[in-house]
């Protein structure tokens, strides 16, 4: 019963972190169902309109995760208003990666102990653990909120964190209605409510989720190390493309406070480009980047790079 209640209220049992690495399979039924639902594509089919919506939602929610959940909530790499903060917290929550407080608390813990036993998702525990086992386990279902006192000041973020399932459910329902309306009144779109739900929510969410999780797992195993850091973070061009810039992970661990993770012009960082556009409109300000002097420090010689 506790596990089922936690589907809807993440603080139903206790606000304190657990201590077991055992996976509570009943509690993670929604996560499993999210993946199984993708197979419904064989029944609902495909249309250009459904794929475009899926792509748009992938990019929008990935930006909310990379630019706000990560660079803003976790690292305070820029400043913004409370309204903009909450809008992107809502969009990030729709990505089905839990709430901003939970996300930021675990990420700050990761940077404190990267690739050490205290790291929530150390690859030293195995790729499955670093990719997804860590958040399926009881140990990390709740977060250490003492790491995020700056975020705990906002009741709207605390509510969003506690009832993190609400926004994904509303998004899924909205996509079903949207697809049904398109199918009825605009038959040229060749879509339906079920098709829009499967592509716009299930497939888009699963792809985005695993692209994000790959930074925890693959970006600590595959790629190039430019900087000598205390962890095994790597720069990976392909992961940077999939995650709008997060793949420059060794750069990030070298200087986490920077809103720009592609330190050089050839390192594509779409999230940073969009943040610069937001800065020009006044939606965000005080955007931090790495000082040139720090960018050139602690570099590994080319011959020593793996």
**DSSP letter string over 83-98?**
HHHHHHHHHHHTTSS-
H or E element in which residue 284 lies = strand 284-285
Q: Which residues contact 189 (CB under 8 A, 6 or more apart)?
A: 47, 49, 182, 183
| The pLDDT of residue 18 is above 70 | no
pLDDT in tens, 103-138: 999 999 999 999 998 999 988 889 999 999 999 988
Among residues 90, 268, 264, 218, the alpha carbon closest in space to that of 164 is found at 90
- Would you say residue 23 has pLDDT above 50? yes
What is the spatial distance between Cα 200 and Cα 54, in angstroms, rounded to a whole number?
Answer: 4
Query: Is 4 a residue whose pLDDT tops 80?
Result: no
The pLDDT assigned to 5 comes to 74
- Tokens 């900087």 map to which residue? 227
The model's pTM is 0.93
Q: How far apart are CA 189 and CA 32, in angstroms?
A: 30
Judge whether residue 273 has pLDDT over 90.
yes
Question: For residues 109, 112, 117 and 118, what is the CA-based torsion angle, rounded to 10 degrees?
Answer: -40
Q: Which residue has the higher pLDDT, 11 or 64?
A: 64
What's the rounded mean pLDDT across residues 253-282?
97
Find residue 137's DSSP bridge partners.
Answer: 23
CA-to-CA distance for 151 and 99, rounded, in angstroms?
11
pLDDT for the residue 1:
64
pLDDT band at 36 (very low <50, low <70, confident <90, very high): very high
- The yes-or-no verdict on residue 153 having pLDDT over 50 is yes
H or E segment to which residue 174 belongs? helix 166-185
Check residue 17 and give its pLDDT: 52
Instruction: Say yes or no to pLDDT of 303 above 70.
Output: no
Widest CA span in the chain: 62
Task: Tell me how far apart the alpha carbons of residues 177 and 87 are, in angstroms, rounded to a whole number.
Answer: 22
Q: At what angle do helices 82-93 and 100-112 cross, to 10 degrees?
A: 90
Q: How confident is the model at residue 3 (pLDDT cuts 50, 70, 90)?
A: low
- 8 A C-beta contact, residue 84 and residue 282: no
Whether 10 has a pLDDT exceeding 70, the answer reads: yes
More confident residue, 123 or 72: 72
**pLDDT tops 90 at residue 256:** yes
Q: CA 153 from chain center: how many Å?
A: 22
Strands (E) located in 167-219: none
Bigger pLDDT: 234 vs 5:
234
Tell how many helices (H) and how many strands (E) occur in the chain. Answer: 16, 2
pLDDT tens by residue, 168-179: 999 999 999 999
For residue 285, give the 3-state DSSP assignment: strand
Instruction: Count the helix, strand and coil residues of the chain and give each as a percent rounded to the nearest 5.
Output: 60, 5, 35
CA nearest to 246, candidates 214, 290, 293, 288: 214
Q: Is the pLDDT of residue 200 over 90?
A: yes
Give the pLDDT of residue 49: 97
């Amino acid at each position: 019963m506790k596990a089922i209640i936690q589907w809807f209220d993440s603080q139903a049992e206790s606000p304190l972190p657990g201590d077991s690495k055992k996976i509570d399979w009943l509690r993670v039924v929604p996560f499993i169902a999210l993946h199984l639902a993708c197979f419904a594509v064989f029944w609902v089919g495909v249309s250009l309109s459904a794929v475009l919506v899926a792509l748009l939602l992938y990019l929008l929610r990935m930006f909310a995760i990379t630019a706000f959940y990560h660079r803003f909530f976790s690292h305070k790499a820029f400043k913004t208003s409370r309204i903009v903060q909450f809008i992107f917290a809502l969009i990030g929550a729709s990505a089905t990666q839990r709430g901003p407080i939970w996300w930021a608390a675990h990420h700050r813990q990761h940077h404190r102990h990267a690739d050490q036993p205290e790291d929530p998702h150390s690859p030293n525990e195995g790729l499955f653990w670093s990719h997804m086992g860590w958040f399926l386990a009881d140990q990390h279902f709740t977060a250490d909120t003492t790491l995020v006192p700056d975020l705990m000041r906002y009741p709207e973020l605390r509510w969003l964190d506690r009832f993190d399932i609400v926004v994904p459910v509303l998004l899924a329902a909205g996509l079903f209605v949207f697809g049904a309306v398109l199918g009825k009144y605009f038959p040229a779109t060749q879509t339906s409510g079920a098709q829009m739900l499967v592509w716009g929510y299930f497939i888009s969410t699963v792809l985005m989720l695993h692209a994000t999780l790959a930074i925890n797992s693959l970006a600590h195993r595959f790629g190039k190390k430019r900087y000598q850091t205390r962890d095994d973070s790597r720069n990976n061009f392909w992961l940077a493309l999939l995650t709008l810039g997060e793949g420059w992970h060794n750069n990030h661990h070298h200087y986490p406070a920077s809103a720009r993770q592609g330190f050089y012009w050839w390192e594509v960082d779409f999230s940073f480009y969009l943040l610069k556009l937001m800065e020009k409109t006044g939606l965000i300000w005080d955007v931090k980047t790495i000082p040139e002097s720090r960018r050139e420090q602690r570099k590994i010689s080319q011959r020593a790079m793996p």
